[in-house]
Amino acid sequence: MKKKIEFSLGLKLVLLFAVTFLAGRGTGIAVDALSGRVQEQQAEPAISEGGLTGGNLEQETKNWGLSFREEGKPPVADVSGEELAKYNACYMEDTEEKVLYLTFDAGFENGNTAAILDALKKHNAPAAFFIVGHYLESSPDLVRRMLDEGHIVGNHSYHHPDMSQMDREAFVKELGELESLFKENFDKEMPKFYRPPQGKFSQNNLSIASELGYQTFFWSLAYVDWNVDSQPSREEALEKLTKRVHPGAIVLLHSTSKTNGEVLDEVLSKWEEMGYTFKALTDYPSMPK
């Protein structure tokens, strides 16, 4: 009897660990069965106090992760900048200049993007919005405003799937469908800026994106802003975003975040007080001139 109890407890602990791990790393698309609304659900990038080494792309599929080790200093990423550069990809600029590149992932619209755009306009801060097909279908006026106010609208795929295991045909179709919808709406080509859905990537899909003329942008600064049902407080947002900021950061925020809509003006002011300025991804050093 004693052995049976010990085994049951051990099994429960293993199952609890597995569920916790998957919940922490998992990302994906949820569809509301009643409204049909597509919601982007992206967990915080894997963050640890150590253990990541800035490795290579030997694994077939990877989840983008960061290790923040020292306040105000760049994190260590799952893959080194040198390795990513082989595939026209990056996650931060290697610089001592206090410059930031602001990016937003936009899976659906829930009333916060206008406030975010207002704050960016107030600070004359250019940004890139990585959108999916649902966002463009449901909120073309907001995408138009992004473009009219000088922001980049990048490709986050049409359906936000895990593209890391796709063959070339499926990968091209995912990006191409959003390109076509963008051209249909705005009568111009979509910029060749790509962010992997769910933060999942592989050597093969980075290579395909590069062959298609895309620059792939990961990120070096983020915090838990994605869960619309459990938003961080103003204080939590300010603490994370000021402690993790560093020269050359590519910042990832979510436009679905109520907190971001409320505090972005203050965050941008704090960064400016710290000596930071904002640049567009078109000014990123590896971009063609």
pLDDT at 78 over 60: yes
pLDDT at 7 over 80: no
- Which residue is it, tokens 């049951």? 8
**What integer pLDDT is reported at residue 65 of this predicted model?**
86
* Mean pLDDT lowest among 53-57, 88-92, 163-167: 53-57
pLDDT at 36 over 50: no
The pair of three-digit structure tokens given for residue 154, joined into one six-digit string:
């990048």
**What integer pLDDT is reported at residue 118 of this predicted model?**
98
Helix (H, G, I), strand (E, B) or coil at 144: helix
**What integer pLDDT is reported at residue 4 of this predicted model?**
38
Confidence of residue 244 (pLDDT cuts 50, 70, 90): very high
What is the bridge-based pairing of β-strands 76-77 and 65-67? antiparallel
The pair of three-digit structure tokens given for residue 105, joined into one six-digit string:
């992932």
pLDDT digits (tens, 9 = 90+) for 93-141: 999 999 999 999 999 999 999 999 999 999 999 999 999 999 999 999 9
Active site residues: 105, 254
Q: What is the dihedral of CA 77, 82, 88, 91, to 10 degrees?
A: 30
